[in-house]
Structure 1
Amino acid sequence: MELARQLRAKREERGLSQDEVSKAIFVSRQTISNWENDKTYPDVQSLLLLSQLFEVSIDELVRGDVVAMQQAIAEDSRILLAGLLLALEG
């Protein structure tokens, strides 16, 4: 995935550790590692904070990751819908 490579490259260009990035955008260091190793995908708020931290557009960060982003959004929507249905049943 392009985003994983972009995140690592942008972080290393600025000489930042994963821990420093995690503190700057309010997530755990493990979360940064998961993003950089293509295990998970950042949410929209995190993408915005990353783009501000690295002084690039969100488009530049996620270029080539549109399909993956669509899948993540679809999965988030399914989870939200399932939670809503459970709440209505309870």
Structure 2
Amino acid sequence: MPVRSVPSDREVGIEVLASDHSVVVSKPWLDVLLFRGGGITLVALAVVFGLRWVRLARTATAELRRRISSQVHSNGSNPPVN
């Protein structure tokens, strides 16, 4: 099938729709690459940012525990509350 956008010596995979045999569909490699690459990139970013969030949450929790434990005195040394 002659096509203007593809050189004559290159093969292009096509599919014919079962519902309408006059419609031909092709899958350009750039579209496939962008969709697959984009999907993989989004999943990787979600994992990285999720791990970063967990690390920051643990650091914040440890910092809060350190601050609270340094402000609490042992029994008997707490100032009286009126």
**TM-score normalised per structure 2:** 0.32
**The structure with more helix, counted as a fraction of residues:** 1
**The structure with more strand, counted as a fraction of residues:** 2
Larger radius of gyration: 2
**TM-score normalised per structure 1:** 0.30
Higher RCO by CA contacts (8 Å cutoff, separation 6 or greater): 1
